[in-house]
Amino acid sequence: MASKDFNYQVALKEGLKSLEQGRLRQAEQSFKYLVDKFPGAEGGYRGLAKVHFEEEDRAGALRVLRDGAAALTKSGERSAAIGLLRQAIVLDPRDLSTHRRLAAALALAGDPDASVQEYARFIRDLRDSGGAGIHPSARALGSDTRG
């Protein structure tokens, strides 16, 4: 187990160093290695998402964060999964799918109040924005709650 931890730390440091130096391909390789070999650890997903973000591939970054959250949940790392979903929402606050996933993750983690608050936050943001650029199903969700 110690060698796995050591390999994880080395690859993570290499990836972060490459990212800092702008060597995105090398960083991407390090983070993909982490995702492949350590799917239950969040560092690879966070790093790979940063690479996509630096490449101005926001959709790719969101995909990595969502997929990472699913993998972390599957491995029992619920709090790490919640962290990745929160990061995904920062990248795209209007993404209904990510809000739903976060609310579900919070509920599964035993925090139904936070789950309800997450849905309420999304609906409030939806109302405040007037629904511009929002998928029609999400717009309907916001209008259904106006009472």
pLDDT, tens digit (0-9, with 9 covering 90-100), for 95-140: 888 998 999 999 999 999 999 999 888 888 778 777 655 555 444 4
Q: Is 56 left (phi over 0), alpha (psi -120 to 50) or beta?
A: left
Instruction: Check if CATH label 1.25.40.10 holds for domain 2-92.
Output: yes
Which residue's entry shows tokens 């599957």? 74
User: Do 65 and 49 touch, CB atoms closer than 8 A?
Assistant: yes
**Would you kindly state where each structural domain of the chain is located, as residue ranges?**
2-92
Per the structure block, which two tokens stand in for 121? 């936050």
Q: pTM for this structure?
A: 0.80
Q: How far apart are the first and last CA of the chain?
A: 55
